[in-house]
């Protein structure tokens, strides 16, 4: 049985994404290091598939296929991309499979199969939907020591509170924390 694992690069104030005109577009770059990349790759594991929303897929296709020959790019390019979309055209970066007609049922079925874990990154609406449906096994937050102030947050505004259980933390030489949590379910009041 596969796990669904959410990986989000996030600022201390909860920003994961910004628009194309954002002043601090490369806000993670100053914190990158070879040791940090090795730690992150270790957290991803030796093999994984990707679970992407259409907007994330369209953004990533502009970078990853031509990013070069290095471990993270090779892993992402080799992964099967399970893309949630109602537009099947333009899914040229493969291997790729389309999801979306009955998304929750399709993901439950996909989770029940043998294969690598499914890594979700970047999609705020998909992250919120899968957490609320109880399909997420782990949340991994890659927390950068920066406050961005504005930008897209990790969850949709309508998200209902959930409880996580701490698993582990590792810290890179540049102060980036890789925090892993197990999903417990809705927060009980």
Least confident of 1-15, 112-126, 144-158: 144-158
Residue ranges covered by each domain of the chain: 4-186
* Reported pTM: 0.90
Q: How high is the pLDDT of residue 10? A: 93
CA distance 33 to 76: 19
Contact (CB, 8 A) for 153 and 15? yes
Beta bridge partners of 50: 81, 119
pLDDT of 16 reads 86
**Residue 175 falls in which region: left (phi positive, over 0), alpha (psi -120 to 50) or beta:** left
How many Cα atoms are found within 13 Å in the side-chain-facing hemisphere of 125?
Answer: 7
Quote the CA–CA distance of 57 and 99 in Å, as a whole number.
12
Per-residue confidence (pLDDT) for residue 5, from 0 to 100: 97
pLDDT tens profile 45-92: 888 999 999 988 998 899 899 999 988 899 999 999 999 998 888 899
Which superfamily, per CATH, for 4-186? Dihydrofolate Reductase, subunit A (3.40.430.10)
Of 45, 61, 50, 62, which is closest to residue 6 (Cα–Cα)? 50
Distance of CA 157 to the CA centre of its chain: 18
Query: Looking at residue 111, what is its pLDDT?
Result: 95
């Amino acid at each position: 049985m596969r796990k669904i694992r959410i990986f989000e690069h996030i600022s201390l104030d909860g920003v994961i994404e910004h628009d194309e005109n954002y002043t601090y577009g490369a806000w993670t770059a100053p914190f990158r290091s070879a040791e940090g990349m090795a730690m992150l790759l270790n957290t991803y594991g030796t093999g994984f598939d990707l679970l992407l929303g259409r907007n994330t897929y369209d953004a990533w296709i502009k970078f990853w296929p031509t990013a070069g020959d290095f471990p993270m790019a090779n892993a992402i390019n080799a992964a099967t991309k399970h893309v949630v979309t109602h537009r099947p055209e333009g899914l040229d970066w493969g291997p790729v499979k389309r999801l979306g007609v009955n998304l929750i049922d399709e993901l439950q079925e996909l989770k029940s199969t043998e294969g690598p874990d499914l890594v979700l990154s970047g999609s705020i609406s998909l992250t919120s939907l899968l957490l609320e449906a109880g399909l997420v096994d782990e949340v991994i937050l890659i927390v950068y020591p920066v406050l961005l102030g504005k930008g897209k947050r990790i969850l949709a505004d309508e998200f209902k509170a959930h409880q996580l259980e701490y698993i582990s933390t590792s810290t890179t030489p540049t102060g980036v924390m890789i925090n892993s949590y197990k999903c417990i379910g809705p927060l009980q009041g």
